[in-house]
Chain A
C-alpha cells in the first residue's frame, strides 16, 4: 500500500518538477508534511548526503526518501516512479520534435511553467535560509542578535556568495568549502 502511494507521489514529482534536481525539493517537503514518511529535518540530511554522493541530486534524494518510507522496495519504486514521466515525456517529445517547437500550446505551457518552477526553488531557498541562518523568531531582541541569527552560518553564506560572483560556477567548489568550514568549526569546538 505504501508502495502504491510512493509510486503515485513520486510520479507526480517527476511529472511536475521543473528546473532539475533541486526543483524536486518543494514536492519532497510537501510529501513530508502529508505522509510523515520522513521529517523536514531528515530531508535536509538526505539532501546533504545526496549532494555529496555521485549521481543526479534529484534521483539520489528520491531514492533516499523512498528508502526512508518503505525500505529497499520503496527506494526502487520511488526511483522508478520519478524517472518514468521523463522517459514517457521525452520519447513523446522526440517523436514530435519538429512539430513540438512550433506548437502554440506547448510553447505557452513551457513559457509559463519555468517561472513557476523557479519560484518553487526560490521558496525552498527561503525555507533553508530560515532553517540555517535564523533561529527562533519569537526570541527576537535587537540587543541579543546572536540568539536570533546564526552568525557563523551567515558568514559562510556571505563568503560563498562573494565567491560565486567572482569564480566560475562549480557546485563541487561550494560543497567542498562548506564541508571544510563545518569540519573546522567542529575542530574548534573540540579545543
Chain B
C-alpha cells in the first residue's frame, strides 16, 4: 500500500478539525482514523507512540502526530502530519484573535468565558490526577512535586529551571541509588 504525503496531511488536517477538548480524545480519534479506517499502522504501535508522547516534553497530540507521520513516511511524513494537525487550529485562532478584543466586551461572552474558566479548572485537576497516578511513585518523586509546586506558587520561579532542575535531581538520585545498590 502506497501512502502519499498529501494523504497524511489530509488525515491529520481532519484530526485537527475534529479534535476538541485537549489531549484526552486524541488516542481514540487517531485509532479510528489510522487503524480502523485506513489500516496504516497497528493499534499496538499507536498506543506505544501515545504513551511515549505523554512522557516527552511538548504537546502530546503533536508528539503523537510526529511519531505516526515518521513511521509512515519518514521526516516528510512527520512534517506533513504535524502541519496538517496545526492548520485548522491556526486558521481558527487567527480569525478569533482578531475579534477577541471586541468579543470580551459582550456581556454574554464574558459570562460564557467565566463558566468555561471553571470548566478548565476541573480539566487541570483531572490532568494533574492523571499525571500524578503515573509519575508520583515514591518519596523522591513526591518530594520533587512539593518543591516545584511551592517554588511556583510562592515565587516567580521560571518553569524552565524547575524542569531542568528536576532532570538533574533525577539523574543524581538515580546515580546515588545505583551506587548504594
Chain A positions within 8 Å of B, measured between CB atoms, are 12, 14-24, 26-27, 30, 33, 44-60, 63-64, 67-68, 72, 75-76, 79, 82-83, 85-87, 89-91, 93-94, 104-105, 107-129, 131-132, 153, 156-157, 160-161, 164, 169-172, 174-183, 185-186, 189
Chain B positions within 8 Å of A, measured between CB atoms, are 16-26, 52-63, 66-67, 70-71, 75, 78-79, 82, 85-86, 88-90, 92-94, 96-97, 100, 104, 107-108, 111-128, 131-132, 134-136, 140-142, 144-149, 152-153, 156, 158-160, 162-167, 169-171, 173-175, 178
What 18 additional pairs, Cβ within 8 angstroms, besides A119-B144, A121-B131, A178-B116? A20-B127, A51-B22, A55-B90, A56-B89, A59-B89, A63-B89, A68-B97, A86-B56, A90-B53, A94-B71, A109-B167, A112-B144, A115-B135, A120-B159, A121-B127, A128-B121, A129-B121, A174-B122
CB within 8 Å: A-B pair count:
359
Interface centre among B116, B118, B125, B178 (most CB of A within 10 A): B118
CB pair B126 A164 closer than 8 Å: yes
Cα A45 to Cα B131 in complex, Å, equals 25
Q: Which of B60, B100, B111 contacts A49 (CB 8 A)?
A: B100
Chain A residue with Cβ nearest B64 = A90
CB pair B145 A121 closer than 8 Å: no
CB pair B59 A21 closer than 8 Å: yes
Cα A129 to Cα B118 in complex, Å, equals 8
Interface centre among B17, B121, B125 (most CB of A within 10 A): B121
CB pair A169 B62 closer than 8 Å: no
CB pair A24 B59 closer than 8 Å: yes
CB pair A12 B160 closer than 8 Å: yes
Main secondary structure of the interface of A (DSSP, over half): helix
Q: Which of B54, B115, B122, B173 contacts A108 (CB 8 A)?
A: B173
- Given known A-B contacts A20-B59, A54-B20, A87-B79, A171 and B66 have beta carbons under 8 A apart: no
- Determine how close the nearest CB of chain A comes to the CB of B45; give it in whole angstroms: 11
Q: CB-CB < 8 A to B165: which residues of A? A: 116
Q: CB-CB < 8 A to A19: which residues of B? A: 54, 127, 131
CB pair B93 A171 closer than 8 Å: no
Q: CB-CB < 8 A to A46: which residues of B? A: 100
CB pair A85 B160 closer than 8 Å: no
Chain B residue with Cβ nearest A52 = B116
Q: Which of A48, A85, A129, A175 contacts B21 (CB 8 A)?
A: A175
Q: Which of B20, B94, B108, B145 contacts A119 (CB 8 A)?
A: B145
- Given known A-B contacts A26-B159, A79-B90, A183-B111, A48 and B120 have beta carbons under 8 A apart: yes
Q: CB-CB < 8 A to B71: which residues of A? A: 94
CB pair B162 A120 closer than 8 Å: yes
Q: CB-CB < 8 A to A186: which residues of B? A: 107-108, 111-112
